[in-house]
A and B are shown apart, each in its own frame.
Chain A
């Protein structure tokens, strides 16, 4: 059986057809001079420096606020309080209350308001303190933002970015520990992004803000304080990563591990352990984008390694991993030398007690163990 056709060149993306004329009048270009970007971390000889995910996000926000007057950020505690997780630190001082706006704690209301502002031609960045609270506004994200362009026959754009921490944090129990990647990933009309490193955070957030469609940007609270080396190119204000493109974080030939967000780091550690313990070379793919999903990169890797494992912290049923396994079968069945497997969160509301919480989410040894089993080591 031949694998179905899959690969088409992606190069024409964003250049193939002229963007439809903006329906609402454009704003005038920003006039004020560019402000110096705050220096962060420590420079090294190669020009890279260590930057935390939090600061990378902050830098992306600042750069986009600076370059586009239509952009503003609103959400709970984003202004005077400097952000519940300090992602928006300093933005109020720099851009003023017109563009950095504290909202009441009414997600449906300010989520809907942000969508309305986008429909009217602005480019809002709507911060949810966490995506758990965005469930109050999920109707606005899906019905008002994602579907309007299609329903209007393409005459009503909605350029908006919804962002905030997603997934579980430490010891915050069931209502504050859910991963929504699969929820938003299933909706046509949305783009869904899930960064892992600081470069991801900056390059993808800038891309999300610039993308003319509604984008859901899923951060992770446990990653905010983590520092990553940032290349010289990534430190510049023109650094943008493409949406819909995965990144091979670690090349390998024996096993493909597809992961996203915080689980990418765990998968990399697991890959190092697999190498050390068994001499196995695992290839680790950082999805970066949940929707569109980079099927091409995943399947090419699968063809190379013959084995695939998906690692995520969301619920197992109908999730991101389920989708990757289904795609593996649809596009890569003939290349698989073993059944595709997945490591996911457990099918349980997140418990509070530490030990039980650990049992609910992938740990590095869970990943190593599952990989060893897959490889019959």
Chain B
């Protein structure tokens, strides 16, 4: 099937990612209602999608002013939270790993606004934004990063392991959570839930064998799943061209229809996921989405992110920032004034600062055996005794 996207000269072709594109042709949004809850249609750039064996999503989304404001707010909130984590890490208050998603906010936010709380999501270790979107709070996420008892995982998980209802982490082994995501979709099918699983992984994980094992079972059993490859161009410090024999990740499902999305545009992500969810929950089988995005930060805090890419490249990508992109359009369309958006920025900044401050004040877990050994097993089914560092530290239960 020859899609509209394939017939167009595609600006985001090639793995270097979407360049800055002219928004002139999408500025024309007539009659933005004054009411917050009135639905209207906003256009999506024609070069936002490339398809593989499927029709492209609609080149517009129906949305309200309230939703647009929330989307802008959410992206700003993730950005601010990540920058705050960056600062706390540099103050040596966050230990170990910390993978930031600055630059990739449109993926987490666009997906969340296209799905419901009944839908499920699982991702890898760059998961702060997803956690926030799935019901975490700035306070309990930062609290977790700081190793506090009030953290979202009670100080047991840290940066990579956060869970909420409908969100299955936060997983630290590259690629291993992809079949796990297929299992979540399997459970959705088993229970006839009518919902969808978003199974996110990076371009680095895309080369793992078990990712392809998951594709196979998902297609074989027609699971309600959207595989989502977040292509931020680097698996740690290795560029996609240096790691993948074929970098069109949306085509790598072969027998699974695919879609490449300009994921620097949150509305393109929203439209694509809405479209994908409808396809998948109609029982038409899995889809493979590639979210073309860009990671501003290094892989983790120990990586300044400069050894394998040029300053110019980073500069160029920053000029295609997902938050600025949306802001620019909202103002151009006359949906919001710059002042209104600036107010949101200020509020978010204030809220994150306050939440981070409160998180810092939360106590750390008590250094007791009760806390150390809790939740290794389900409560009520623990072994009678477990060994500590010495025989005297053996922990008895029951």
Chain A residues near B (Cβ < 8 Å) = 4, 6, 8-20, 23, 27, 72, 98, 103-104, 106, 108-122, 124, 139-140, 143-144, 148-157, 188-189, 191, 211-213, 244, 291-292, 295-296, 330-331
Contacts and interface: CB of A to CB of B under 8 A. Distances in A.
A143 to B, nearest CB: 5
Nearest to A296: B384
Name the 5 nearest CB pairs between A and B, nearest first.
A116-B183, A109-B213, A112-B179, A292-B383, A153-B154
Contacts of B168: 116, 119-120, 156
10 contacts: A104-B220, A113-B182, A139-B173, A140-B176, A151-B161, A152-B162, A153-B152, A154-B156, A188-B386, A213-B381
B347 interface: no
Contacts of A11: 398
Contacts of A191: 377, 383
A11 B183 CA distance: 36
Contacts of A27: 191
B179 A15 contact: no
B202 to A, nearest CB: 17
B186 A117 contact: yes
Given A17-B379, A119-B184, A139-B176, A154 B154 contact: yes
B148 to A, nearest CB: 11
Counting chain B residues whose Cβ lies within 8 A of the other chain, the interface size class is 35 or more
A109 B216 contact: yes
Interface in B133-170: 151-157, 161-163, 165, 168-170
Chain A CB count within 10 A is highest, among B151, B374, B377, B396, for: B377
Given A153-B154, A292-B383, A4 B398 contact: no
A104 B190 contact: no
Given A18-B379, A98-B190, A139-B173, A106 B180 contact: no
A121 B187 contact: yes
A117 B217 CA distance: 13
Chain B CB count within 10 A is highest, among A10, A16, A117, A296, for: A117
Nearest to A114: B183
Contacts of B217: 103-104, 106, 109-110, 113
A143 B176 contact: yes
A16 B376 contact: no
Interface of B: 120, 122, 151-157, 161-163, 165, 168-173, 176-188, 190-191, 209-210, 213-214, 216-217, 220, 374-386, 391-392, 394, 396-398
A23 B167 CA distance: 11
A211 B382 CA distance: 10
B155 to A, nearest CB: 7
Given A106-B213, A143-B176, A17 B184 contact: no
Contacts of B180: 112-113, 115-116, 119, 140, 144
A4 B186 CA distance: 49
At the interface, is chain A mostly helix, strand, loop or mixed? loop
Given A109-B179, A144-B171, 18 more contacts: A4-B394, A8-B385, A10-B384, A14-B380, A15-B380, A16-B397, A72-B190, A108-B176, A113-B214, A116-B184, A120-B188, A143-B172, A150-B375, A152-B153, A152-B162, A153-B156, A213-B381, A295-B385
Contacts of B165: 23
B376 to A, nearest CB: 5
A181 to B, nearest CB: 16
Contact of A104 (B156, B216, B380, B385): B216
Contacts of B394: 4
Nearest to B396: A8
Contacts of A144: 171, 173, 176-177, 180
B182 A116 contact: yes
Contacts of B209: 108
Contacts of B183: 112-120, 124
A139 B176 CA distance: 8
B379 A19 contact: yes
